[in-house]
Structure 1
């Protein structure tokens, strides 16, 4: 089945039913299909090379979604950029960009800026077919185990499997739904396509979280997917404003394990029915846990889905007995086999048909996965993974900074804080430096910058992270 077959069906079977509520209004399934066809006709006029992916950098999430579907209609692979306009993964050649603003990384490529006419109904165009079932359809960015952005390639069959299997056990949730996870992520992409295929009403959130919370209350959102970072901010807003969400019946936490203290606050203030989701871009949803398990078992990642495989192995990739601690590796029907673009030296996270997410854990005889920490030192701040070296290298690019290091600080009541330490012998405005980092790194920027006299290192120049944490406090 083509990805758009479900939209064609819903546009005929339930043509007048609402498909999406968004900041600019609402569209039925028939109207959504008409917008996709209109955008497809505009894309066809520009004659994009179907052998090269098109990067979509559009601030409006509804228009970004429509353009993604329109590119699928035209058999052109796509990549959705983040709302912070971070560059795409290294080494992937893009044929063009559809963007509402220019960014430095787009230099030398064709950049097309759509207007309202792109989405206005017009003459229908016949759908084009991809050259083969294995043709590239979608690129998603994943930090994997390195914290550096990597391009993950998906064909239509892999996308379908990543939606079909979770839907079989109700893991995609119910209507009406909202996800705060962006379309550029694997979860955000699968969530939106999955609910479209099931004919569920989706509510696309406004950019500001407080506005999204008001939309949830006005339109009666029942199912919400959010990261620990989102939920931490939502708690602060809800508690200060006295907000409640009486229609919210199910809340899914995705991205990383949430601290128990925060989990208790979420269940008390936002929604008592909470599910934790463990997954990755490379293999999709792997396991999930109800709120009671999350509350009772520290580090609980969830019960492994019946169609997936999880093993705990030693450093030589030999499977360990149930209950033993070791490296986590996962397999799913929708697992990818390789990355596109520039290979990352030493990255062996995809090998022998398995994905190694870089987690340490144990698996109980009942199939419950419990996480114990990270194999490396990649910072995972509420699902945002970043290499400390990337942050340090960015800081060293600013004038006056002599040395720099980055690390994560685990906090009892909110997601891990990204902290950076700098050495400088001249006055420096740390607030301005933080702003500069955010412009370069987006969500991967440090939350806090601290000045120190010296970065502790060993004789090989490696940062002594534990000692640095003690100095910073």
Structure 2
């Protein structure tokens, strides 16, 4: 089996049902099977063989999805590039893995000896049908990377079998129907959007591609296109909440709005359910594993401090530093086990030894689990702050900051201090702008004095990595520069 083997079945059973809607272009399932076969034939004719790693440098489009499916069919390994990256960054990404060819919209970027293929040529009618060997269950499908939130991303492979397991878990968790109309606000170069789009096509529902430039356009688009399932990040959610202030509920007819990539506070959830949609859900997972935790409105009301419940097909444990399971309710390192997880990072034995142990995946997070399977996220294991022996988690301070009506995003870190060992420092995105002193006073009313940020940096926006996640590494550099400047002025 491979992830595209059901397309011919959909072509027969769902012939006129839209598979992809890209502006005025509508690709039905009856058309998609033939388009993927033609693209696979063209790739095969260009010399692409099973096991070849192919870098993809494309904007979101129907052709992008068709090419992804065609590469999967011929057995190539997909490696998505960031189309917003600089020429040097792209060259470094391509050089970091054994790429055979690059598929892009335009001409080659450099004389690197690689095969450069244009998307429009791949998507032309083929001289003959694809007659190569299709990928099998255990063949590699994607070269993915970890999110890189706290450092350089690490590479790992997913097979067709692993992706099929990932897709099965998603379908079970999300409760999709064949009439689902999916819109993701992240780009397809990000693994979550790309993988769910492929999952939707395998399931037989509809992927809708949007190019909205403003919140006004997006609001009209979602309602006008009858989007039923909307996937977004906390940053998207913050922008939507700001836009929706004082308006009627923005998307009353959505079946599900799912925020992923980072936990949100319960106050943010309640605001989303009041201003955006009553069907607001939260999901926590990783690029390595896919969905791990899911919380719907009923889950949120049952345990406001929890992210949600561990999803079906995933086993979770909270353990101490020696790997011994802890009782329900105690905080420790969380580890996960499930079908299709990678077993190591490529060419990084040290990171592999930390993350993959005894059949478990250790994401490096601290959490607690109750007896009903709800997960209470506490932060990164190496982010705990020790202030004169009193230990606390950054998420406690972030939650307090996010309760302020002007704060859209917050990130908190421990920082060295000569007298007490460590103090909390924070970085926030606010609208409208407020002062550091105002935020510190606000925090003192909600958390213990030793947890109040010693310093707060106010930014217009947070730096983000190639995966679209907040780059805490870059934020720390900003804080370090500012504190050094303050020290120099004394």
- The TM-score range, normalised by the shorter chain, is 0.7 to 0.9
Q: What is the aligned-residue RMSD (CA, Å)?
A: 3.6
Q: Where does residue 342 of structure 2 map in the other structure?
A: 336
Distance 1:360 1:453, change over 3 A: closer
CA contact (8 A) 1:52 1:94 kept: yes
* Correspondence list, 1:313-332, <5 A: 313-332=319-338
Question: Matches of residues 193-204 of structure 1 in structure 2 within 5 Å?
Answer: 193-204=198-209
Classify the secondary structure of the residue corresponding to 1:8: helix
Counterpart of 2:199 in 1: which secondary structure?
helix
| Match status 1:228 vs 2:258 | no
Q: Which residue of 2 aligns with 1:111?
A: 116
Deviation at 1:409, TM superposition (A): 6.6
TM-score (norm 2): 0.74
Q: Quick one: distance in 2 between partners of 1:259 and 1:141? A: 27
Say if 1:99 and 1:409 are closer, same or farther in 2 by CA, change over 3 A.
farther
Q: Is the 8 A contact 1:312 1:319 kept in 2?
A: yes
Native 8 Å contact 1:238 1:244 kept in 2: yes
For 1:260 and 1:81, locate their aligned partners in 2 and report how far apart those are by CA, in whole Å: 35
Contact kept in structure 1, 2:12 and 2:30, CA below 8 Å = yes
2:443 counterpart residue number:
none
Q: CA deviation at 1:252?
A: 1.2
Q: Distance in 1 between matches of 2:382 and 2:145?
A: 20
For the residues of structure 2 that align with 1:342 and 1:108, how far apart are their CA atoms? Answer: 27
Q: Distance in 1 between matches of 2:319 and 2:182?
A: 37
Q: Using structure 1 for the length normalisation, give the TM-score.
A: 0.77
CA 1:306–1:74 in 2, change beyond 3 Å: closer, same or farther?
closer
**Structure 1 match to 2:409:** 415
Taking the aligned partners of 1:456 and 1:354, their CA distance within structure 2 comes to 44
- Answer yes or no: is 1:365 the counterpart of 2:371: yes
Matched with 2:314 is 308
Q: Distance in 2 between matches of 1:247 and 1:108?
A: 51
What CA distance in whole angstroms lies between the structure 2 residues aligned with 1:133 and 1:62? 25
- 2-side partners of 1:54 and 1:151: how far apart? 15
- Deviation of 1:125 after TM superposition, in Å, equals 1.9
SS at match of 1:348: helix
Cross-structure match for 1:142:
146
> Partner residue of 1:75?
75
SS in 2 for 1:414: strand
Structure 1 341/444 Cα, relative in aligned 2: closer, same or farther at 3 Å?
farther
Counterpart in 2 of 1:267?
Answer: 273
Cα-to-partner distance string for 1:349-400 (whole Å, 9 max, x where unaligned): 122111111211111011111111211249xxxxxxxxxxxxxxxxxxxxxx
2:156 aligned with 1:152: yes
Give 2:196's aligned residue: 191
The CA deviation at 1:309 is: 0.3
Separation (CA, whole Å) in 2 of partners of 1:64 and 1:340: 26
1:26 correspondence with 2:26? yes
Residue 287 of structure 1 is matched in structure 2 by 293
Cα deviation for residue 231 of structure 1 reads 1.3
CA displacement 1:271-290 (0-9 Å, x = unmatched):
11122112112122112111
Q: Any stretches of 5+ residues in structure 2 without a counterpart?
A: 385-396, 413-425, 429-458
Residues 284 and 332 in structure 1, CA contact (< 8 A), matched pair in contact too: no
Matched ranges for 1:346-365 at <5 A:
348-365=354-371
2:167 paired residue number = 163
In the superposition, relative to structure 1, how do residues 256 and 171 fare at CA in structure 2: closer, same or farther (>3 Å)? Answer: farther
Maintained 8 Å contact 1:176/1:223 = yes
CA distance in 1, matches of 2:349, 2:485: 30
Task: Confirm or deny: 8 A CA contact 1:327 1:361 kept in the other structure.
Answer: yes
Asked if 1 retains the 8 angstrom alpha-carbon contact of 2:16 and 2:30, the reply is: yes
Residues 1:72 and 1:453: Cα distance change in structure 2 (over 3 Å): closer
Instruction: Tell me if structure 2 keeps the 8 A contact 1:178–1:225.
Output: yes
**What is the CA-CA distance between 1:333 and the residue it aligns to?**
1.6
Q: Which runs of 5+ in 1 are unaligned?
A: 379-407, 422-432, 458-470
1:214 CA drift (Å)? 2.9
**Which residue of 1 is the match for residue 264 of structure 2?**
258
Q: Identify which of 88, 97, 105 aligns with 1:100.
A: 105
Q: C-alpha distance in 1, partners of 2:193/2:163? A: 13
| Alignment partner, residue 468 of structure 1 | none
Closer/same/farther in 2, CA of residues 21 and 332 from structure 1, 3 Å limit:
same
- Write the distance in 2 (CA, Å) between the matches of 1:124 and 1:416: 55
Distance 1:360 1:438 in 2: 23
> Could you tell me how far 1:105 is from its partner in structure 2?
8.7
The 2-side partners of 1:441 and 1:169 are apart by 23
Q: Structure 1 stretch 205-214 or stretch 305-314: which is displaced more?
A: 205-214
In 1: Cα distance, 2:48 partner to 2:380 partner: 42
Q: 1:132 and 1:203, CA in 2 relative to 1: closer, same or farther beyond 3 A? A: closer
